[in-house]
Chains A and B, each alone.
Chain A
């Protein structure tokens, strides 16, 4: 389902996600509403098991929802993510969203340059020669051009995460989604990565980052907390019903 709309960039409308278990139904997300504007650096903060990654999977369309809707207004079209087929979603995600995981998720058999080229290859947005040039530029941006032809196993964790960022930027997507990107890095490396995100936000991108580290709160342009599947704004009130987070900002 597509519709012409400009703002906000992402809308979560009454999103509910339940998991079935032997013990019964487990509600991972409880009627979540959230609007995300362009150029925001949004932090979603919560403890382990609070539902942060589940929420992130709703943005990326990686996981299905039980009820509600996620609409993304980007690249001149509005897309209700969960109405797309898995295939259409893959192509849409490849062109619209860069995804970064805590565990980097690089393909171990490909060099850093080839890993960065992969999204361009999958989306057919760039000519192979052009995609190579772009991959090297992106690696240069994350200060890894001298390692372009190495395999991921030969570089450090922080360097691998920078490659993941370069890969996320490959198709020049308007949104970057990051799931605990600094979770497995030491504090100095984590700071480097965070600075890289800040640069990207300054250059006009929207970044949604999930973390358990409350210490990072001041560095986000906005943050929300998630507790047991419920979202709380900065004043610790659950965000339900029509009171969508972000609407106050307009």
Chain B
């Protein structure tokens, strides 16, 4: 091997700590990018393939009970390829011997073996349940501890308790995909319906279209025509859903979330590149004498540039050796986690070529780009400067003509010290040295501060975004302020339920609500979407809306509604006071939009109209199926207890209770979904913090190494180990504190930016930003710990050097 390459090899392996620092700095960024890019591709590919493999219904209709004959007419409808009917109803279940009930939507499938739409994927146990057996969707297992072979207790409407046998666990990527806040699912055959006290009729249609399965417009036209036909047959359709065969309903949201993570991945690469630049600058500084010697004996800029370029590529290559396999595993792990949460299967572990290419490109290009300037500068240094070591630059500034003069910072520092001393305040000499040392290498300090500050600002912002999202979900909870929602199978008089409920001293308030639904018509008269209309009493105290424009519902409103922001997808220019074409109970009507409010658009378009009008229109004045109950206390545990007690209480008095749910239940599951996103964001924020602290550790090691001789001199004139360690620690802490202060300010725009991106992706609407001291406090603690850790090793090694060693150091 030629001596020049032998030197490069030695540079690579002799200083293992420095090589490790550079390699890890590159690897962190490459790993992050690899994980996100890989997961993005795996999810994009597998989600659509896995989703399509189960032949998802393009059309779902939730409607009145119907029989097999009616289903056959649907099957013959023009444009429909396959249509299957299900009976879906809600029950409460718990494993035998447990006390905690879980709400489950039971899906009745007529013939599991002939099932063609919304196919189930077996996970464990049997694939087809026999009479009095049940299959559980795997999401149920997150709520209760059950396995094939176990027995479940089921509570029926008459309060009687039956048992069913868990035959198996399945995965259903289609049925629940459109409504991710819905309860988990379980499946039975029609033989078991009787056990559940249900009629052998269906209430949902799942159909695929013959052509244009990935054309939303076509599906919409078929759905609209089909709905019209169904309604002409005197069946009422509650809600309708459309899905494309090759697009998971949540694909856009997941991709948006991955997009956010990708942006953070790019930020990590960016930060790690500044760390690399810092380390390479220091490396070139340490190598100046070598460069000088090489130039003295004939080395030209080109040769030296090439040598260090090869060193950079070698750093990149070593980083790839770590980051590519780890990134591949990480990508699959992340994809698997998301797939499990979203209820679809992956097609198996594989290397994603595009992620690999991105990783290789980033791994090789980032050190080249980050190291280009230091290497160019290093290779161009003159022999005189290199041999004499006259390029430390330090903090001194070059006066005209080349001589050093006192820097502005030094002048300020000396002046400040003098002023303090005049007032009797004396800063201890070691502290002064630490202060001065901190600002000696300004270029290095700026890069270190940049990395650590960006890491800190991201970290703090993630906490702010977390609170912002939760606050928003909570504010959405203002639409559901009741502690318990009590739904009945039959309507009861509002007064009657109110009287009964108020007999429980813990109940403080009761409201009867009703519901309606309508099709939103497009300008050409076809159905564009549905709106679920909730009808609380006009003077309801249980809704505190976030109005965007207009007003809330009022008593006396007729054919007037407030509508959620989701309407802007259909009518972008709609304003309060405009009229909206709706089809209500099969009749085309024009309703005035009196107000527009904020809501989670993913949940579909929601409307509010006064109970007084809707109930009268439905011929159900003073009657209601659904009641909102307020209790003395409002925490989740209390709500759950009250839901159970009220459920039992009403059942005991002969009421047909369908379900009693605690008010915070829906919010909790929404918050859970957000926490998954937040935990990913936190992981990315921690990675940025790790890069930042690696930068600090590198800087402190370099500072100590470059000051070896100074440390020796200080020891020679009496500095103890403790004093040397303290000086280095104070310097590291000072950098940490400065970065924290800068991070506080930078976190403000970061929080606004990240909140905007996340809320637009998740809620499809920008939300009000909330700041929390938690992120600041945690980061303050973390930055102190990280700064101490980053300085403690260099400080210890500085203290361990003997005077002879350091004074002999070159």
Partner-B contacts on A (CB < 8 A): 19-22, 57, 60, 62-64, 86-87, 90-91, 93-95, 99, 101, 103, 105-107, 109-110, 114-115, 117-119, 121-123, 128, 167, 170-171
Give the chain A neighbours of B810 by CB distance below 8 A: 103
**Quick one: which of A62, A90, A94 contacts B384, CB cutoff 8 A?**
A62
B403 proximal to A (CB < 8 A): yes
Give the chain B neighbours of A90 by CB distance below 8 A: 295-296, 298-301, 383
How far apart sit A106 and B382, CA to CA, in the bound complex (Å)? 18
Contact A107 B290 (CB under 8 A): yes
- Could you pull out 8 A-B pairs where Cβ atoms are within 8 angstroms? A19-B403, A86-B295, A86-B383, A87-B302, A90-B295, A107-B7, A110-B7, A121-B4
Contact B298 A123 (CB under 8 A): yes
Assuming A21-B403, A110-B3, A118-B3, is B384 touching A57 (CB within 8 A)?
Answer: yes
Contact A87 B300 (CB under 8 A): yes
Assuming A20-B402, A87-B300, A105-B296, is B383 touching A62 (CB within 8 A)?
Answer: yes
In the complex, the chain A residue whose C-beta lies closest to that of B293 is: A105
Contact B297 A118 (CB under 8 A): yes
How far apart sit A110 and B401, CA to CA, in the bound complex (Å)? 38
In the complex, the chain B residue whose C-beta lies closest to that of A119 is: B297
B6 proximal to A (CB < 8 A): yes
B131 proximal to A (CB < 8 A): no
Give the chain B neighbours of A105 by CB distance below 8 A: 289, 292-293, 296, 387
Assuming A115-B3, A118-B4, A121-B3, what are 11 further A-B pairs, CB within 8 angstroms? Answer: A60-B296, A86-B295, A86-B380, A90-B298, A105-B289, A105-B296, A109-B7, A117-B3, A119-B298, A122-B303, A123-B298
B294 proximal to A (CB < 8 A): yes
How far apart sit A57 and B24, CA to CA, in the bound complex (Å)? 42
Contact B299 A107 (CB under 8 A): no
Assuming A87-B300, A91-B298, A118-B297, is B6 touching A20 (CB within 8 A)?
Answer: no
In the complex, the chain B residue whose C-beta lies closest to that of A128 is: B2
A97 to chain B, nearest CB (A): 9
B399 proximal to A (CB < 8 A): yes
B11 proximal to A (CB < 8 A): yes
Interface residues of B in 244-267 (CB under 8 A from A): none
Give the chain B neighbours of A93 by CB distance below 8 A: 296-298
A79 to chain B, nearest CB (A): 15
B689 to chain A, nearest CB (A): 34
How far apart sit A90 and B295, CA to CA, in the bound complex (Å)? 6
B304 to chain A, nearest CB (A): 9
B218 proximal to A (CB < 8 A): no
In the complex, the chain B residue whose C-beta lies closest to that of A96 is: B298
Partner-A contacts on B (CB < 8 A): 2-4, 6-7, 10-11, 14, 289-290, 292-303, 380, 382-384, 387, 399-403, 405, 810
Give the chain A neighbours of B387 by CB distance below 8 A: 62, 101, 105
Give the chain A neighbours of B298 by CB distance below 8 A: 90-91, 93-95, 119, 122-123, 171
In the complex, the number of residue pairs spanning A and B with C-beta atoms less than 8 Å apart equals 96
Contact B399 A22 (CB under 8 A): yes
Give the chain A neighbours of B10 by CB distance below 8 A: 109-110
Assuming A57-B384, A63-B384, is B297 touching A122 (CB within 8 A)?
Answer: yes
Give the chain B neighbours of A19 by CB distance below 8 A: 402-403
Assuming A93-B298, A118-B3, is B405 touching A107 (CB within 8 A)?
Answer: no
Give the chain B neighbours of A118 by CB distance below 8 A: 3-4, 7, 294, 297
A176 to chain B, nearest CB (A): 13
Contact B6 A94 (CB under 8 A): no
How far apart sit A119 and B300, CA to CA, in the bound complex (Å)? 11
How far apart sit A60 and B401, CA to CA, in the bound complex (Å)? 23
Give the chain B neighbours of A123 by CB distance below 8 A: 297-298
**Quick one: which of B14, B297, B300 contacts A99, CB cutoff 8 A?**
B297
A132 to chain B, nearest CB (A): 10
How far apart sit A124 and B296, CA to CA, in the bound complex (Å)? 15
Listed residue (A19, A90, A91, A115) with the most chain B CB atoms within 10 angstroms of its CB: A90
A119 to chain B, nearest CB (A): 4
In the complex, the chain B residue whose C-beta lies closest to that of A25 is: B401
Give the chain A neighbours of B405 by CB distance below 8 A: 22
Give the chain A neighbours of B2 by CB distance below 8 A: 117, 121, 128
Give the chain A neighbours of B383 by CB distance below 8 A: 62, 86, 90
Give the chain B neighbours of A87 by CB distance below 8 A: 300-302
A159 to chain B, nearest CB (A): 17
How far apart sit A63 and B292, CA to CA, in the bound complex (Å)? 12
Give the chain B neighbours of A115 by CB distance below 8 A: 3
How far apart sit A118 and B291, CA to CA, in the bound complex (Å)? 12
Assuming A107-B290, A109-B14, is B296 touching A99 (CB within 8 A)?
Answer: yes
How far apart sit A170 and B290, CA to CA, in the bound complex (Å)? 18
Listed residue (A22, A101, A122) with the most chain B CB atoms within 10 angstroms of its CB: A122
How far apart sit A171 and B384, CA to CA, in the bound complex (Å)? 22
How far apart sit A208 and B296, CA to CA, in the bound complex (Å)? 16
Contact B382 A86 (CB under 8 A): yes
In the complex, the chain A residue whose C-beta lies closest to that of B401 is: A20
Give the chain A neighbours of B302 by CB distance below 8 A: 87
How far apart sit A60 and B383, CA to CA, in the bound complex (Å)? 10
Assuming A105-B293, A128-B2, is B299 touching A94 (CB within 8 A)?
Answer: yes
How far apart sit A99 and B295, CA to CA, in the bound complex (Å)? 11
Contact B403 A20 (CB under 8 A): yes
Give the chain A neighbours of B14 by CB distance below 8 A: 109
A237 to chain B, nearest CB (A): 31
In the complex, the chain B residue whose C-beta lies closest to that of A123 is: B298
Give the chain B neighbours of A99 by CB distance below 8 A: 296-297
In the complex, the chain A residue whose C-beta lies closest to that of B15 is: A109
Give the chain A neighbours of B294 by CB distance below 8 A: 107, 118, 122
A156 to chain B, nearest CB (A): 14
Give the chain A neighbours of B11 by CB distance below 8 A: 109
B297 to chain A, nearest CB (A): 4
How far apart sit A87 and B14, CA to CA, in the bound complex (Å)? 29
How far apart sit A117 and B14, CA to CA, in the bound complex (Å)? 20
Listed residue (B295, B297, B401) with the most chain A CB atoms within 10 angstroms of its CB: B297
In the complex, the chain A residue whose C-beta lies closest to that of B406 is: A22
Give the chain A neighbours of B402 by CB distance below 8 A: 19-20
In the complex, the chain B residue whose C-beta lies closest to that of A53 is: B388
How far apart sit A95 and B302, CA to CA, in the bound complex (Å)? 17
Give the chain A neighbours of B292 by CB distance below 8 A: 105
Q: Across the A-B interface, give the 10 residue pairs with the lowest CB-CB distance, nearest first.
A: A94-B298, A20-B401, A109-B10, A122-B298, A119-B297, A123-B298, A114-B3, A122-B299, A118-B3, A21-B403
How far apart sit A91 and B301, CA to CA, in the bound complex (Å)? 10
How far apart sit A110 and B1, CA to CA, in the bound complex (Å)? 12
How far apart sit A22 and B400, CA to CA, in the bound complex (Å)? 10
How far apart sit A110 and B5, CA to CA, in the bound complex (Å)? 10
Contact B297 A86 (CB under 8 A): no
Contact A94 B3 (CB under 8 A): no
Give the chain B neighbours of A167 by CB distance below 8 A: 297
How far apart sit A62 and B293, CA to CA, in the bound complex (Å)? 11
How far apart sit A38 and B145, CA to CA, in the bound complex (Å)? 97
A1 to chain B, nearest CB (A): 20
A15 to chain B, nearest CB (A): 16
Give the chain A neighbours of B3 by CB distance below 8 A: 110, 114-115, 117-118, 121
How far apart sit A109 and B11, CA to CA, in the bound complex (Å)? 8
Give the chain B neighbours of A101 by CB distance below 8 A: 387
A110 to chain B, nearest CB (A): 6
Give the chain A neighbours of B384 by CB distance below 8 A: 57, 62-64
Contact B296 A62 (CB under 8 A): yes
